[in-house]
Every structure is written in C-alpha cells, then in structure tokens.
C-alpha cells in the first residue's frame, strides 16, 4: 500500500519554548510504514494558510499544525473546502483548540495520535466571512487578544497580567444581538461565539460546547461588579461559568452582533479589525480533524 503524505507546518514564533526537539520527535515517532512527511516552517504571520493550501492541492492526507490557535487558524483557512485533514501538535501558548479536542499536550503523545489516524468531521465558524475553529469574540476578550498580540512576551504570566489589568480598565458596551429571530439589548463585558469549549489555558468559556452539533454556544458575560472578576475567572477554570447569574448562553447557528464604534473582534485568539456589525455563521461538519 502506498504511504499517506503528511506536511508539518511549524510556527517558529509560537509558544514559550522553541521547537528544536520537535523535528527529532517527528523523526522518531511517526510511523514510516504509514506515512511519508515533510516539515515546513512559516516565515511570517498567515504563511501557514498558503503552505496548507498548497499541501492540500498536492493531495496530502493531513497537514499538522505545530503551534497554537493562531497557527491552527491559518492552516484551517488553507484547508477549508479540501478533503485534507488537520492535525495539531500543541506548541502554542494557550492551545485552546488542542485542549478542547483533547489532543495531548506532550509532543510524543500527539504524534502517536497521528499514527493512529482516527478522524472526525468538525464544525467551523465564520465571523464576517473569516474562518475560526475554536471561538470568536467581541468586547473584553478581543481587547485582551489585541494586547497579547502586541506583547513580545508569551505564556500564562503575561496573559494573567493582561486579563487582570484590563478587567479593571475595560468599560462595558451596549450591544444589540440578533439571534434566533429575537433582538436582544445587553450591556455586556464580552460576547463570545464558541465552537470549542475553551480559550486556552483551560479557561472554559463554553464548557459544554460540541464541535459536531452544528451550533455555536453564544456566551454573553453581562456587566458585573469588577470585584467579582476573580470569581468569574475561577468559574471558567472549574467549568461552572454558566452557573453565574451574569452569564447567558444561547445556542444558534447564526448570530449578528452590533455595537457603535466597534473596531475589533478576535478569531481564535488573534485580533481582527471589524465594522459595527459582525455576523457569525456556522458551517456544519466541514473540516476533517485527527482526534484521540
């Protein structure tokens, strides 16, 4: 039987550790009877999209994102509409997508998963036409992603610092949300449109979201006394966010969110500029992914 092709796309800038040992681990663990492979490195932000598209055009079985959510997002954009599977070696900072899919954080274990080659078709979202896999958001979480992207440092310490600082500084906006035939008005801290369960670092914004149900978990964190911010963060860690009286969860396959002077959203943790209205649309079961 002819061997299947894999292309590894390594983002040398993601995460806190550098990727020196990854090539060695790939060479040691990938089953050479099953696969032939190539390892490529991105040269710039967004390069992963072009490399993934080219790999898919060459009939590759799977493109392996070696990086975090931003890298996976680049690669999914390149793979969209092709039959090529996505696999992930979590080497980012938060690794929200990989954690939500229960892909092991250890490189060796994630590689063994690729040898097993079990796949599932997952849902993908669009925010004003821009593809996202894990979640997209407006308000405070878009602000944090923008500040994180502007920072030269990576990792939980800087993330925690930004989360705390801007929780106090962020001013809640008035939003209009059109969903399931209703128009809702909310004064809210953040609005997140989740496909996966978490934002990375095990911060579960939508603890019971399902990748395969064709629906988003729209999570609205309404204005709350800032003194309770720590409790809400704790609730994200322990998976009980939806029990908070400040949190609303609505399931839908389409939602339109507007706020005056809106300028930024985040898709899979990367800041993206936007206009006053953002339309989120669900694409059911369109991306093949290697899963545990």
Ligand X SMILES: Nc1ncnc2c1ncn2[C@@H]1O[C@H](COP(=O)(O)OP(=O)(O)OP(=O)(O)O)[C@@H](O)[C@H]1O
Q: Residue 104 interacts with ligand X (CB under 6 A)?
A: no
Task: With beta carbons less than 8 A apart as the criterion, state whether 55 and 64 touch.
Answer: no
Find all residues with CB under 8 Å of 266, minimum gap 6, and list them: 136, 137, 138, 141, 142, 144, 145, 146, 272
Phi, psi of 76 (to 5 degrees): -60, -40
> Counting contacts by CB under 6 A, is residue 217 touching ligand X?
no
Q: Minimum Å distance from CB 211 to ligand X?
A: 17
CB of 19 to ligand X, least distance (A): 11
Q: Which range binds ligand X by CB under 6 A, 10-18, 104-112, 165-173, 245-253?
A: 10-18
Window contacting ligand X (CB under 6 A); options: 20-28, 70-78, 126-134, 253-261? 70-78
Single out the residue of 269, 278, 288, 289 in contact with ligand X (rule: CB under 6 A). Answer: 269
Q: Which residue is nearest to ligand X (CB)?
A: 68
- Grouping H, G, I as helix, E, B as strand and the rest as coil, residue 238 is helix
Q: Which stretch binds ligand X (CB under 6 A): 93-101, 168-176, 222-230, 238-246?
A: 93-101
> What is the b/e burial string over 222-244, where b = at least 16 CB atoms within 10 angstroms of the residue's CB?
bebeeeebeebeebbeeeebbeb
Tell me the CA end-to-end span of the chain in Å, nearest whole number: 24
- Window 138-177: contact mask with ligand X (x via CB under 6 A): ----------------x-----------------------
Identify which of 50, 64, 116, 61 has the alpha carbon closest to the alpha carbon of residue 83. Answer: 61
Within 71-90, which residues bind ligand X (CB under 6 A)? 71, 74
Q: CA torsion 39→42→46→47, rounded to 10°?
A: -70
Q: Which is nearer to ligand X, 74 or 123 (CB)?
A: 74
Q: Which residue from 6, 7, 8, 11 is in contact with ligand X, where contact means CB under 6 A? A: 11
């Amino acid at each position: 039987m002819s061997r299947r092709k894999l292309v590894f796309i390594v983002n040398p800038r993601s995460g806190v550790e550098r990727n020196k040992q990854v090539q060695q681990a790939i060479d040691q663990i990938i089953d050479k009877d099953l696969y032939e492979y190539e390892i490529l490195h991105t040269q710039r932000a967004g390069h992963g999209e072009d490399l993934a598209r080219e790999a898919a055009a060459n009939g590759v079985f799977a493109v392996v994102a070696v990086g975090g959510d931003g890298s996976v997002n680049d690669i999914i954009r390149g793979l969209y509409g092709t039959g090529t599977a996505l696999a992930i070696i979590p080497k980012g900072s938060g690794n929200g997508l990989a954690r939500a899919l229960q892909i092991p954080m250890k490189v060796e274990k994630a590689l063994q998963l690729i040898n097993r080659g079990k796949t599932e078709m997952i849902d993908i979202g669009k925010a004003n036409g821009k593809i996202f896999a894990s979640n997209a958001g407006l308000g405070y979480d878009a602000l944090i992603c923008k500040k994180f992207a502007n920072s030269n440092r990576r990792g939980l310490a800087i993330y925690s610092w930004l989360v705390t600082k801007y929780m106090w500084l962020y001013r809640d906006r008035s939003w209009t949300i059109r969903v399931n035939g209703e128009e809702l008005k909310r004064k809210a801290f953040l609005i997140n449109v989740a496909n996966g369960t978490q934002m990375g670092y095990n911060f579960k914004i939508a603890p019971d979201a399902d990748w395969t149900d064709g629906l988003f978990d729209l999570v609205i964190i309404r204005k709350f006394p800032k003194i309770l911010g720590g409790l809400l963060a704790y609730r994200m860690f322990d998976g009980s966010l939806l029990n908070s009286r400040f949190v609303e969860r609505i399931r839908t396959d389409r939602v339109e969110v507007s706020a005056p002077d809106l300028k930024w959203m985040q898709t899979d943790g990367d800041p993206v500029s936007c206009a006053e209205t953002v339309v989120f649309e669900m694409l059911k079961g369109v991306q093949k992914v290697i899963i545990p």
